[in-house]
């Protein structure tokens, strides 16, 4: 009977040890999943923050670009009115043609220069507003490039 009792105690001890190992492994796995979930949530939060910052930068920049464009148009219109007043006072057709040619040339030059400035400002805005999202994409690619380690899931 002692032999049977010893055998039962040995088997019970093996079972207990196996259960403890299983519980330890389950705990490590659950901890790994919990950590991965926290990291995914934090990454998602960072993505939302980057998108919000990009949107704010874009909207502020578009307001500024709109103001600049309005100022340019206002300036061109004022110049056109001044030219019309000057044309009304001209005494000869030749003077009127010369004045109109000079006006057209200056308006074209000013229009091209201002359009170039607006275009540069728009490109700068595009770079600034996309920078937070580009940074998040870079971070995502870096994370994807990292090999998964067994410790992550233990």
Q: Domain tally for the chain?
A: 1
| Res 1: pLDDT | 59
**Is residue 150 situated within a structural domain?**
no
| Res 144: pLDDT | 82
3-state SS of 77-141? HHHHHHHHHHHHCCCCHHHHHHHHHHHHHHHHHHHHHHHHHHHHHHHHHHHHHHHHHHHHHHHHH
The tokens for 111 are 């229009």
| Res 148: pLDDT | 59
| Res 3: pLDDT | 78
| Res 149: pLDDT | 56
CA-closest candidate to residue 42, choices 142, 148, 136, 150: 136
Asked if residues 151 and 31 have their Cβ atoms less than 8 Å apart, the reply is: no
The tokens for 21 are 């190992």
**Is residue 87 situated within a structural domain?**
yes
b/e sequence 101-122, b meaning 16+ C-beta within 10 Å:
eebeeeeeeeeeebeeeeeeee
**Is residue 151 situated within a structural domain?**
no
**Is residue 152 situated within a structural domain?**
no
**Is residue 21 situated within a structural domain?**
yes
Measured CA to CA in angstroms, residue 89 lies from 14, 75, 82, 96 at distances of 112, 22, 11, 9
* Residue-level pLDDT, tens digit, the chain, 154 residues: 577 888 878 888 888 898 889 998 989 888 888 888 888 899 889 999 999 999 999 999 999 999 999 999 999 999 999 988 988 888 888 988 999 999 999 999 999 999 999 999 999 999 999 999 999 999 888 888 876 554 443 4
**Is residue 128 situated within a structural domain?**
yes
The boundaries of the domain holding residue 49 are 2-145
């Amino acid at each position: 009977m002692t032999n049977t009792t010893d055998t039962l105690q040995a088997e019970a001890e093996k079972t207990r040890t196996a259960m403890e190992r299983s519980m330890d492994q389950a705990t490590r796995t659950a901890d790994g999943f919990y950590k991965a979930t926290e990291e995914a949530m934090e990454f998602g939060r960072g993505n939302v923050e980057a998108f919000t910052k990009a949107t704010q930068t874009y909207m502020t920049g578009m307001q500024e670009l709109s103001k600049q464009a309005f100022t340019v148009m206002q300036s061109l219109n004022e110049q056109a009115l001044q030219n019309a007043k000057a044309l009304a006072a001209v005494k000869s057709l030749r003077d009127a043609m010369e004045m109109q040619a000079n006006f057209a040339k200056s308006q074209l030059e000013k229009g091209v220069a201002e359009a170039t400035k607006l275009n540069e400002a728009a490109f700068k805005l595009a770079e600034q507003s996309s920078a937070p999202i580009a940074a998040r994409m870079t971070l995502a690619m870096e994370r994807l490039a990292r090999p998964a380690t067994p410790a992550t899931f233990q």
